[in-house]
């Protein structure tokens, strides 16, 4: 049930216990226990809404920053990653294989805020060798959800 349960709530975190139980063919108690276990084990780390800020009047700028760093003895990349992710404006930090080390996603109100963060906070960290900033122009698909989707059922209305 774990995999199926996770794949349902990964798409819809607000689904009710009753519906989950029906869809999985389990009792509500079984499902509730499983969710509690998944939360305790840190497998479910949180629940959040997918927001398309574009459609609001609120300004947001997102940038993806490729960061090259010097790993530290005994700590590898973990301690520098921690230094970076503790900034609240940092939305995600991934360790990446290939040409650079960390992929940092940053969300701010204006381009200038991002420039300041990169110049003053990120680049001045001791082990950061370089940071190359890419601004996001449009989000098409976020967390498995297509944002510019035009829902339409192009099937014939009744078929045998």
Partner 1 sequence: MRNFLSDKVLEIKPSGIRKFFDIVSEMKDAISLGVGEPDFETPWHIRDEGIYAFEKGRTFYTSNSGLLPLRKEISSYIERTQEVYYSPEKEILVTVGGSEAIDIAMRALLNDGDEVIIPQPSYVSYAPCSYLAGGKNVIINLKAENNFKLTPEELENAITDKTKILVLPFPNNPTGAIMGKDDLEGIAKIVKEKDILVLSDEIYAELTYNGRHVSIVSIDGMKERTILINGLSKSHAMTGWRIGYACGPEEIIKQMTKIHQYAIMCAPTISQYAAVEALKNGDEDVKMMRNSYNQRRRFLLDAFKKMGLECFEPYGAFYVFPCIKEFGMTSEEFATRFLYEEKVAAVPGTAFGDAGEGFLRISYAYSIEKLKIAMERLNNFITRLRQQ
For 92, the token pair is 């995600």
Contacts of 54 (CB under 8 A, 6+ apart): 138, 139, 147
**Min separation Cβ 22 and partner 1, Å:** 4
Q: Is 25 in the site for partner 1 (CB under 8 A)?
A: yes
Instruction: Give the C-alpha separation, 133 to 79, whole Å.
Output: 22
- Positive or negative, the Cα torsion across 51, 53, 58, 64? positive
Helix (H) or strand (E) holding 66: strand 61-69
Choice between 9 and 103, CB closer to partner 1: 9
**Min separation Cβ 146 and partner 1, Å:** 12
Q: Is 90 in the site for partner 1 (CB under 8 A)?
A: no
Instruction: Give the C-alpha separation, 115 to 96, whole Å.
Output: 23
What does the per-residue mask of binding to partner 1 show for 134-153, with x meaning CB under 8 A? -------------------x
How many residues belong to the site for partner 1 (CB under 8 A)? 15
Helix (H) or strand (E) holding 4: helix 2-11
Q: Is 23 in the site for partner 1 (CB under 8 A)?
A: yes
Q: Which of 24, 35, 38, 103 binds partner 1 (CB under 8 A)?
A: 24
Phi, psi torsion values for 155, nearest 5 degrees: -75, 155
Choice between 28 and 66, CB closer to partner 1: 28
**Min separation Cβ 46 and partner 1, Å:** 23
Binding site for partner 1 (CB under 8 A): 4, 7-8, 19, 22-25, 153, 155-160
């Amino acid at each position: 049930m774990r995999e199926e349960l996770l794949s349902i709530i990964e798409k819809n975190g607000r689904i009710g216990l009753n519906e989950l139980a029906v869809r999985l063919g389990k009792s509500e108690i079984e499902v509730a226990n499983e969710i509690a276990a998944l939360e305790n084990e840190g497998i479910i780390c949180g629940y959040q809404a997918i927001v398309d800020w574009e459609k609001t009047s609120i300004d947001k700028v997102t940038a993806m920053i490729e960061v090259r760093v010097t790993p530290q003895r005994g700590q590898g990349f973990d301690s520098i990653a921690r230094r970076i992710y503790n900034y609240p404006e940092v939305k995600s930090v991934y360790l990446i294989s290939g040409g650079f080390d960390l992929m940092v996603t940053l969300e701010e109100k204006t381009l200038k805020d991002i420039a300041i963060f990169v110049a003053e906070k990120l680049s001045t960290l001791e082990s950061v060798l370089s940071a190359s900033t890419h601004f996001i122009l449009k989000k098409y698909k976020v967390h498995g959800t297509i944002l510019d989707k035009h829902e339409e059922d192009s099937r014939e209305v009744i078929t045998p």
